[in-house]
């Protein structure tokens, strides 16, 4: 059981864990999850870490159907500029491996921004803390558990 699943259980929210066989040759983890689970890429969200030029780390949760708008994230986080965090730093800070980083149960709680498009969904799918494992839950529950905030940070490709 991952820290993400433990947190969801502890907080007694309604959730579902979905497992699939991860292909080690796949680099597009979110797209792989959507395809393996028969979900739309607008329902599956990826968890990314970004860092400000002042060194502030934040979590961004955006649909795998698009990309993270770093300018919009910087504005939401009250920073001048954001860039993607180094993968090694992301793993060390969250306690998860890249491709399996969950917004839930991270080692260190970081400011979390969830793309506002999630509000239109009845369920959002995010990593449950390891590659090949997703957790489905209500977007509002994700917002509550992460103590996050909605922001227009996703760009559709």
CATH assignment at residue 70: 3.90.960.10
What's residue 93's pLDDT? Answer: 96
Asked whether residue 157 carries a pLDDT value surpassing 80, the answer given is no
Mean pLDDT of the 97-125 span = 96
- Per-residue pLDDT tens for 71-95? 999 999 999 999 999 999 999 999 9
Enter the pTM of the model: 0.95
- Per-residue pLDDT tens for 27-72? 789 999 999 999 999 999 999 999 998 999 999 999 999 999 999 9
User: Count of domains in the chain?
Assistant: 1
Q: Helix 139-146 to helix 3-10 angle, to the nearest 10 degrees?
A: 100
What's residue 156's pLDDT? Answer: 79
* DSSP string over 47-115: EEEEEETT--EEEEEEETTEEE-HHHHHHHHT-S-EEEPPHHHHHHHHSS-TTS--SSS-SS---EEEE
147 φ/ψ angles, rounded to the nearest 5 degrees: 55, 40
Domain of 70, in residue numbers: 3-156
């Amino acid at each position: 059981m991952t820290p993400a699943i433990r947190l969801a259980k502890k907080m007694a929210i309604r959730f579902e864990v979905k497992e699939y066989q991860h292909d080690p040759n796949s680099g597009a983890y979110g797209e792989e999850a959507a395809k393996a689970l028969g979900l739309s890429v607008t329902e599956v969200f990826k968890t990314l870490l970004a860092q400000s030029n002042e060194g502030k780390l934040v979590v961004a949760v955006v649909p795998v159907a698009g990309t993270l708008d770093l300018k919009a994230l910087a504005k939401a986080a009250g920073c001048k500029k954001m860039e993607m965090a180094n993968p090694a730093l992301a793993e060390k800070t969250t306690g998860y491996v890249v491709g399996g980083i969950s917004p839930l149960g991270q080692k260190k709680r970081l400011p979390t921004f969830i793309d506002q498009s999630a509000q239109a969904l009845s369920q959002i799918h995010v990593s449950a803390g390891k590659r090949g494992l997703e957790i489905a839950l209500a977007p509002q529950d994700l917002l509550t558990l992460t103590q996050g905030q909605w922001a227009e940070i996703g760009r559709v490709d």
